[in-house]
Amino acid sequence: MSVADGNMTAKEAARALDALAALSVELSCHCDRPPDELVLGAGKVKETCSAIDEAVASLRRVLTLAEHRDGPLVRAPRDPGEADV
């Protein structure tokens, strides 16, 4: 693996981790209510879905970069309804 490939893989992994960390902070309960009593507004749900989609896309790019370097890895499902085989 070249240094450029390693840097690209690390940047994609960092992008996914950053998106997931930000999502975790945004969804944290900063109030006195228990988490199971929180209700997210439609806008927050849309933002959350977008952040999850961005992280998933980054992780798919990491897998693609790794496959180019090492050959086929485990196949990731393409959508939530697709079974992992």
For residue range 27-80, what is the model confidence (pLDDT) as tens digits?
775 667 777 777 778 888 888 888 888 888 888 888 888 777 776 665 656 666
> Which of 67, 51, 68 minimizes the C-alpha distance to 16?
51
Indicate the DSSP class of residue 30: -
Residue 79 has what pLDDT? 66
Residue 2 has pLDDT above 70, yes or no: no
Residue 10 has pLDDT above 60, yes or no: yes
> Which of 77, 73, 71 minimizes the C-alpha distance to 85?
77
**Whose structure tokens read 């749900």?**
45
Helices (H), the chain: 3-27, 42-70
Q: Where are the domains of the chain?
A: 3-70
Q: Who contacts 34 (Cβ-Cβ below 8 Å, separation ≥6)?
A: none
